[in-house]
Amino acid sequence: SRLSPHLHFGEIGPRQIWHAVHHTFRGRPPEDAQTFLSEIGWREFAYHILYHFPTTPTKPLRADFERFHWETNAEQLRAWHRGLTGYPIVDAGMRELWTTGWMHNRVRMIVGSFLTKHLRLSWTEGARWFWDTLVDADLASNTMGWQWIGGCGADAAPYFRVFNPMMQGEKFDPQGTYVRRWVPEIAKLSDKTIHQPWSATADELRRAGVKLGQTYPLPLVDHAEARNMALAAFSQLKAPASGIRAGATDSANEKTPKR
């Protein structure tokens, strides 16, 4: 809806949106409108969480995640910032974010999963970058969103949910329109290979003017290996589970080349 910046700055309120939708559809909003309203509800839930758990911008809601070892890798973090991970859908999203201050919610989930699962870099790194770059940056929503994708928040994504960037790209950008707009250096690849350039033949790469590792980076990590390492690392949190912090107010195993 692109209303989130206006919600954040108080130009419009959630109650106004709710009443406008119900007025438009005479009290019977269709399924897509109900989905939209549910997103407004999630925003209100984020504020509820932040109010009652004010430390969540810097600490996980799930206390057991305090013992999780996040990696530290400045080079990989910088590549993620700049949209140079070697995964086209991730790079397209990060470049759009830097250029426009905006990113679709689906792409936010994809790039967030890549940071926290493939690279195992802390969700706080992602939250900080989004806070600095999004035009709709909102402390409550940003915090809840990153804790959700990192698995450490309220009703968070399960640790074994690792978004497959190739499959996500093929599903939500089947013609490669989005990737071609934001990652023009691989724009001449076919729809079949646009989301995984390493699968293109040498002849197709030559005709498309793509030199992997030169004009476009090789993947930072291998998808299958990164997924398996993430599952092994996150599975250590299964026992014992210590619950919520107290005292407060897709993924098929395609092989990708290593860098």
List, by residue number, the catalytic residues.
Answer: 39, 42, 70, 105, 123, 146
Nearest-5° angle of CA 25, CA 28, CA 34? 90
Q: How far apart are CA 2 and CA 181, in angstroms?
A: 20
The rounded Cα 139 to chain-centroid distance in angstroms is 16
Nearest by Cα to 89 from 4, 25, 183: 183
The partner residues of 163 in beta bridges, in order of sequence, read none
The full 3-state SS of the chain, as one line of letters, equals CCCHHHHHCCCCCHHHHHHHHHHHCCCCCCHHHHHHHHHHHHHHHHHHHHHHCCCCCCCCCEHHHHHCCCECCHHHHHHHHHCCCCCHHHHHHHHHHHHHCCCCHHHHHHHHHHHHHHCCECHHHHHHHHHHHCCCCCHHHHHHHHHHHHCCCCCCCCCCCCCCHHHHHHHHCCCCHHHHHHCHHHCCCCCCCCCCHHHCCHHHHHHHCCCECCCECCCCCCHHHHHHHHHHHHHCCCCCCCCECCCCCCCCCCCCCCC
